[in-house]
Structure 1
Amino acid sequence: MGDGNVISKFGNLKAFLGIVAGAGASYGIYKLVSGTSFKKNKSITSESSVPKVTHGSISSQPGSLLAKVSELDVVRAGGSKAVDFVQSSDMVFKSPGSLEPQHLKMLLSLLQTTPSPSDRVQILITLGNTAAFTVNQDLIHEFGGIHIIAGFLSDPVPEVRVQTLNALNNLSLNLRNQEELKVYVVKVLELIEMSPVNSDLQIAALRLLTNLSVTDKHHHMLRGSITLLLSLLVVSNHLLQIQVLKVLVNLSSNPEMMDDIVQAQAPASVVLLFDVRTSSTVLLRLLTFAGNLKAWRPSAQVAEALRRRQDCLYRVLLDDSSQLHSRLIQLLSHPDGELRAQVAWVLS
């Protein structure tokens, strides 16, 4: 069955999905800190996401393709302290009624031809959930699906962009796919900057960046994003703070990134997050980030040059004038034993 005549063959999207199922298968602080918009210019964390089904114009009846694929769970690897590393090889492979290759081809073809935003959302959810499994990650790659899906990062409908990011996120669990996905890093950063703070768009985009920063290979592409991430850290809720910190922890585990990190402009209020009132899940990752920074040892000449830069992260967290040390001492009395141990590690 050719891809080109999918719509004419089945008449409409609902008919197609029924047949397949029957076959069994912007915020102010960053602007003030940076003064410009983002342009081109080891503690490891990784993410998987399987979004819930949102009901659009496509039927999601029990036993249908969408019902089979959309309700799947991805097994996430838990980490000790602030380590959450999930590779595709660690995921439980459990076929959702085994979508066949032609079904994925049809979905990709329909994604490009349907005029309905709600239909695009549903197709992206289905593709994203199938992409939670290694065999489908490979098939979508072979069919050119990564670039097809990524084309909807610029869709005018926010929910379409969210589900595009979710699908790309699961595809990024495959290291081969990351080679194709790296070309979209700048676009993903632009989405983070331009989207409302704490929005689903920001969270989905940061999850994708988390996976792309699991290895050192693509860290250089995020050199210009440090100020953006630090600015988000002080204005967002704890859910977004966790996503931001996962990326920062990954980057700070790479010694070659340290110069860029410590020189980045940073809000002075970053140090205020080291507080007993901060969520423990945020604090653990924040302490891992701080520990990575403190392990860096600049020369006396470099340290002196950084001290002259009033607004850089070095002055905020690492300089002798920083409040960080006194705040860490206070955290030694935190009721969470794991957190106290992390504080002691940073102070050592």
Structure 2
Amino acid sequence: MGDSGVVARLGNMKALLGIVAGAGASYGLYKLISREGKRRNKKKAANETVRSSQQEEVKVQPGSLLAKVSGLDVVCFRPGEAVADDIIHQSPNNLEPQHLNMLLSCLQTGTDPSDRCRILLTLGNAAAFTVNQNLIREFDGIRIIAAFLSDPATEVKIQTLNALNNLCMNIQNQEQIKIFVPRVLELIEMSPVNSELQLGALRLLTNLSVTDKHQHLLKGAVTLLLSLLVVSNESLQVQTLKVLVNLSSNPDMIDDIVQAQAPASVMLLFDKRTAAAVLLRLLTFVGNLKAWRPSAQVAEELRRKQDGLFRVMLDESSQLHSRLLQLLSHPDAEIQAQPWKSQTGHSSNDGFSDSGRLEFSHCLNSIVKRS
């Protein structure tokens, strides 16, 4: 029993010494690892310091890839209105196809009238360039823009007419714009006299009637135009006469023009007090009509219509003869004596036609003789 107890105690002592030795070895190993880790960290920190100082010494060369990349903005999502606002502030001739498409999309989804006006203004300015005229048509933009002819806001309708007016400079676009002529005429008839709305509508009709192709759409509008002529201011009178001169330059339109109702007060415009710009176009309009020679039978039928343009301006009983004689002594030098010529064209947009090129003095004399 005694020997076995001694043996047991010796075994326990060895186990204890083993544990102590193991713990010491573990601690020594930990210290070794810890010391090595600290040494590596110090070395790494030193390297980072050197690398940082080297980076600070690097200078970004202008025009380099690094310079370009460092100047780029972070791309993030923005609402359509914000993007459209950026596009609006760009120059019209710098707009890309995707910009035009985005503006048309914003125009359809926007609800603020002021935003619509700004977008329409931008599209209208862009439409001054042929490439944009074609792109807007290809994006179905004419239909989208023309829809705002019925917008409740007056300013939106004005900007719509201005945009369509520029788009109308393109012959292919006219094929789509002609569909909206009835609405444009309705705006002229229903809008306040001398308003920007009427002026914008007349500008559009002027461009649309430059060629003979779409003039027939205005056959029923001659009475409206003549009525507007006697109640409007100078600017509107000039624009109205541009349309009438265009129509009267087409022989196929004369029959419809002379049958239209005309207010007797239109004769009062043949007066020295009438603005020269109005008077010159008015005389060209009459000169175009006087070039038309109806048969005796047709003239007799037209004469029976008391308020018809033929009876008011072209018949032998008209006051036109005496009023034209007074204009031969007009105080304006251009009207009184100087010969003048003018012609229709997009470049001048003066409303005169090729067939309406008349020397003024010859125009007066020929009209007086025929009367």
Shorter-chain-normalised TM-score: which range?
0.7 to 0.9
| 1:235 matched to 2:303 | no
Question: How big is each residue's C-alpha offset from its partner over 1:146-169, in whole Å with a ceiling of 9 and x where there is no partner?
Answer: 000001000000100000000000
TM-score normalised by L of structure 1: 0.75
Partner Cα separation in structure 1 for residue 101 and residue 232 of structure 2: 39
| 1:110 matched to 2:106 | yes
From the two aligned structures, give the one with the greater helix fraction.
Answer: 2
| 1:321 matched to 2:317 | yes
1:330-341 mapped onto 2 (5 Å cutoff): 330-340=326-336, 341=339
1:180-195 mapped onto 2 (5 Å cutoff): 180-195=176-191
Q: Which has the higher relative contact order, 1 or 2, with Cα contacts under 8 A spaced 6 or more apart?
A: 1
Tell me the percent identity.
69
After superposition, the Cα gap between the structure-2 partners of 1:313 and 1:343, relative to the gap in structure 1 and judged at 3 Å, is: farther
Partner Cα separation in structure 2 for residue 162 and residue 104 of structure 1: 20
1:1-348 mapped onto 2 (5 Å cutoff): 9-18=77-86, 20=87, 64-65=89-90, 68-69=91-92, 96=93, 98-340=94-336, 341=339, 342-348=360-366
Partner Cα separation in structure 1 for residue 165 and residue 119 of structure 2: 15
Partner Cα separation in structure 1 for residue 188 and residue 361 of structure 2: 30
Partner of 2:17: none
AA matched with 1:112? Q
AA matched with 2:227? S
Partner Cα separation in structure 1 for residue 105 and residue 190 of structure 2: 30
Q: Does the aligned pair in 2 maintain the 1:111–1:123 contact within 8 Å?
A: yes
SS at match of 2:230: helix
Q: Does the aligned pair in 1 maintain the 2:328–2:364 contact within 8 Å?
A: no
Partner Cα separation in structure 2 for residue 298 and residue 231 of structure 1: 24
Q: Does the aligned pair in 1 maintain the 2:84–2:106 contact within 8 Å?
A: no
Partner Cα separation in structure 1 for residue 265 and residue 77 of structure 2: 59
Partner of 2:7: none
Partner Cα separation in structure 2 for residue 137 and residue 261 of structure 1: 33
TM-score normalised by L of structure 2: 0.71
Q: How many equivalent residue pairs?
A: 269
Cα drift, residue 16 of structure 1: 3.6
Question: How big is each residue's C-alpha offset from its partner over 1:115-142, in whole Å with a ceiling of 9 and x where there is no partner?
Answer: 1000000000000000011111011011
Partner Cα separation in structure 1 for residue 134 and residue 105 of structure 2: 17
AA matched with 1:200? E
Cα drift, residue 344 of structure 1: 3.6
Question: How big is each residue's C-alpha offset from its partner over 1:251-308, in whole Å with a ceiling of 9 and x where there is no partner?
Answer: 0000111011001000001111010100000001101101001111000111111111
Partner Cα separation in structure 1 for residue 115 and residue 271 of structure 2: 45
SS at match of 1:141: helix
AA matched with 2:240? V
Structure 1 unmatched ranges of 5 or more? 1-7, 22-63, 70-95
